[in-house]
Structure 1
Amino acid sequence: MTTSVSPRRTAASEPSRGRHSGPAARNAPRIGSVGTAVTENSYTQRELIDRFRITDPKIRGVFLSGSIERRHLTLPPVGPDGTLVPEIQGELLAKHTRVGVEMGSRALLACLEGIGADLADVDYLCCVTTTGFLTPGLSARIIRHLGIDPSCHRADIVGMGCNAGLNALNGTAAWSAANPGRLAVMVCAEVCSAAYVFDNTMRTAVVNSLFGDGAAAIALIAPDSDTPDPDAPDRFASGPAAPAATPRILDFSSHIITDALDAMRYDWDDDQNRFSFYLDPEIPYVVGANAEQVVDRLLSRAGLRRSDIAHWLVHSGGKKVIDAVRVNLGLTRHDVRHTTGVLRDYGNLSSGSFLFSYDRLLREGAVRPGDYAVLMTMGPGSTIETALIQW
């Protein structure tokens, strides 16, 4: 079956209906570049059920549903009996620390390379994670690991789940706007293979079939008011990230579905003696039913309609979640092609998933000056986060 793609109106093809054209918008924080990283080893879903020796046909069916082909994971070693060695909570936290710092550092370096910057340029670092709790957090550990200036401003966003990337981007953009000309970087590092429970139940099977390890970093720069070209990040205008590839961050909109506060949660499992993630089977429909109001609120403040949006970068939360959002927002399968592509190739990467989709959009070369995009993430709370950007 072929999917028809309706033409999208953009500011490049007709006069913009948006309100973002004044001096404040021109000096809004811009996305300089994005960098991504994954762990070394990847596995197909069939390889995973064989490694975990899953024989239950229902659980095997969850893994082999077809929406995910491969995921990057950091599995425990195989013991003398040929089974994977069980990991206690302390070992999982150690894995989260080791892999999170390594992946996050590689993503950050790739991000800096995209704008021709180096570690000495980083003035603010925000690190996001949900797959482990550390004190001090990933920001301090990455600063030490890479040798970033210890006077770098930093923040850690912990425990907010898959929506946390946009929550943290909101705060990072605010810092950037308050410090024009200075480089702010946000890193999402999720070691989902350090946050699993295996007990042969359908509840844990859904979680174990879905998530993968990955990290993503995004660089923001707000142009100085004295910069001759307000459409370019001033310090790095001559770097690899050309001005046309640096969209402005225009607005954010958030919505907490308080009636579904416990529908997605990461809490302690007394039976397993470790943390365990829970997903309510109804969550795709709950998120889908609430998607319209938060998106329409975001767009109405800009004087835009959904038909004005050229690109949709939705969190790769799972096939049912993506379908529910797509149907409720009236999107085509083409609109969410990068969302489903990331899910297929990596699984759900939690807070950094939308940045993997953003990276694919740029590599596709489909963006034109004036295009609007909506970024959208969903997670515990239950929460929907959105952002509006424009090239």
Structure 2
Amino acid sequence: MTRVLAVSAVFPPHRHTQAEIAEELARRLPTGTDPGLLRRVHSSVGVEARHLALPLDRYGRLGGFGQCNDTYLEVARDLGARAVRTALDEAGVAPEEVDVVVSTSVTGIATPSLDARLASAAGLRPDVRRVPLFGLGCAGGAAGTARLHDQLAGRPGDVGLLLSVELCSLTLQSADTSMANLVSGALFGDGAAALVAVGAGHPRYGEGPGRRPSGGGPGPVVVDCRSRLYPGTEHLLGWDVGEWGLRPVLGSELPEVVRLHVGEEVASFLAGHDLKPQDVTAWVCHPGGPKVLDALGDVLGLPDDALSQSRRSLARAGNLSSASVLHVLRDTLGDGPPEPGSPGLMLAFGPGFSSELVLLRW
């Protein structure tokens, strides 16, 4: 098993209310487009404010995909380094102690990958093992946790680091008035997160988070993981890639797919550990949007407050793609974790259509 020692959650400094962002995007709509639909979408997604990679007035001056991606590389490197330093400091782990780093991002193209670009500045060893992930989208935070667990299961004496950086605002297509783009422009924000963990053979395995500045208790153990693809749903979520850059693919059927498949998937996964959904005391769920959270709560029969951390994260910062579920985990630790021995479930969805489940125990 794997012990989580610390989780960091960081944002770029530019924060704007949802109303401010809606008005800026309305000014950039193509001539003759009615801004009323854009404003209604922005008011319906449960987001109150978001952090952005750039000041709001800079977005209208960005050029094509090349300039957007150059901006992604610059901002993501600095934001990711801050997330790594914060997590390591809170865990009480020196950078040179890290043996493996898993990184995930889907909002820009980086070769060398982000972990390589920030390794020296963050103090990581030149021989650190790197596992960069791309294409997992919003599932990347949970999938990255699972893949880090896999790495540490094979090398139980090691220290592992997971990094997620997402700058969703740099992918916005201002001339695209499709519903998918309008919803994306209303829902997604920017942020980063990092998680530090150790394998079961490490001396720190028996401890909780290092200094716990947020007042949280012991970090959870990763017990088991499951990845699942749902055939025939590939068209529902992802990027349409072209000279314009990364255009969102966001199917309106996603909540129904969650209702159709995910409830059974979660129940089956938990049953393998003699658990039922009502036994889970901490739901660490990716805040994909209000309709997805509603569908998940309904199909699992959850009480109203079970997904409150996810809804608060969505309202405070929007959907941060792969980083969101790690922000929710950080909030769960900081607000006072569950009783020792109680189970938790990390859950996220991504392109494929896919789900990633991570069983936790405090």
Give TM-score, length-normalised by structure 1. Answer: 0.85
Q: How big is each residue's C-alpha offset from its partner over 1:226-264, in whole Å with a ceiling of 9 and x where there is no partner?
A: x6xxxx526x77942599612211111222121111100
**Paired position in structure 1 for 2:53:** 74
Aligned-pair CA distance for 1:76: 6.4
Query: What is the CA–CA distance in structure 2 between the aligned matches of 1:95 and 1:339, rounded to whole Å?
Result: 29
Query: What is the CA–CA distance in structure 2 between the aligned matches of 1:304 and 1:162, rounded to whole Å?
Result: 26
**Paired position in structure 1 for 2:219:** 246
Q: How big is each residue's C-alpha offset from its partner over 1:304-338, in whole Å with a ceiling of 9 and x where there is no partner?
A: 11121111111110111111111111112210000
Q: 1:170 to 1:194 in 2, by over 3 A?
A: same
Query: What is the CA–CA distance in structure 2 between the aligned matches of 1:192 and 1:316, rounded to whole Å?
Result: 15
Aligned-pair CA distance for 1:86: 3.7
**Paired position in structure 2 for 1:206:** 183
**Paired position in structure 2 for 1:57:** 36
AA in 1 matched with 2:312: G
Query: What is the CA–CA distance in structure 2 between the aligned matches of 1:345 and 1:243, rounded to whole Å?
Result: 20
SS in 2 for 1:94: helix
- 1:114 is matched with which residue: 71, 90, 114? 90
AA in 1 matched with 2:75: V
Q: 1:66 to 1:159 in 2, by over 3 A?
A: closer
Aligned-pair CA distance for 1:212: 0.5
**Paired position in structure 1 for 2:163:** 187
Q: Does the 8 A contact of 1:76 with 1:85 survive in 2?
A: no
Query: What is the CA–CA distance in structure 2 between the aligned matches of 1:77 and 1:354, rounded to whole Å?
Result: 25
**Paired position in structure 1 for 2:99:** 123
Q: Does the 8 A contact of 2:219 with 2:333 survive in 1?
A: no
> Structure 2: any 5+ residue segments left out of the alignment?
none
- The answer as to 2:316 corresponding to 1:340 is no
AA in 1 matched with 2:125: D
- The answer as to 2:197 corresponding to 1:220 is yes
1:148-297 to 2 correspondences below 5 Å: 148-201=124-177, 202-224=179-201, 233=205, 239-240=210-211, 245-269=218-242, 273-297=244-268
Query: What is the CA–CA distance in structure 1 between the aligned matches of 2:147 and 2:262, rounded to whole Å?
Result: 22
- The answer as to 2:279 corresponding to 1:308 is yes
AA in 1 matched with 2:283: W
- 1:349 is matched with which residue: 296, 301, 320? 320
Q: Does the 8 A contact of 1:253 with 1:297 survive in 2?
A: no
Query: What is the CA–CA distance in structure 2 between the aligned matches of 1:168 and 1:359, rounded to whole Å?
Result: 15
**Paired position in structure 2 for 1:134:** 110
Q: 1:276 to 1:200 in 2, by over 3 A?
A: closer
SS in 2 for 1:120: helix
AA in 2 matched with 1:339: S
**Paired position in structure 1 for 2:75:** 99
Aligned-pair CA distance for 1:362: 1.3
AA in 2 matched with 1:135: T
Q: 1:366 to 1:218 in 2, by over 3 A?
A: closer
Aligned-pair CA distance for 1:191: 0.9
**Paired position in structure 1 for 2:269:** 298
Q: Does the 8 A contact of 2:217 with 2:333 survive in 1?
A: no
Between the two proteins, the alignment pairs up a number of residues equal to 353
AA in 1 matched with 2:76: G
Q: Does the 8 A contact of 2:90 with 2:209 survive in 1?
A: no
Q: Does the 8 A contact of 1:213 with 1:349 survive in 2?
A: yes
Q: 1:238 to 1:247 in 2, by over 3 A?
A: closer
Query: What is the CA–CA distance in structure 2 between the aligned matches of 1:293 and 1:106, rounded to whole Å?
Result: 39
Q: How big is each residue's C-alpha offset from its partner over 1:339-361, in whole Å with a ceiling of 9 and x where there is no partner?
A: 00000001000011111111111
Aligned-pair CA distance for 1:147: 3.1
Aligned-pair CA distance for 1:369: 0.5
CA-based RMSD: 2.1
**Paired position in structure 1 for 2:357:** 386
> Structure 1: any 5+ residue segments left out of the alignment?
1-27
Of 340-349 and 157-166, deviating more is 157-166
Q: 1:239 to 1:340 in 2, by over 3 A?
A: closer
Q: Does the 8 A contact of 2:216 with 2:336 survive in 1?
A: no
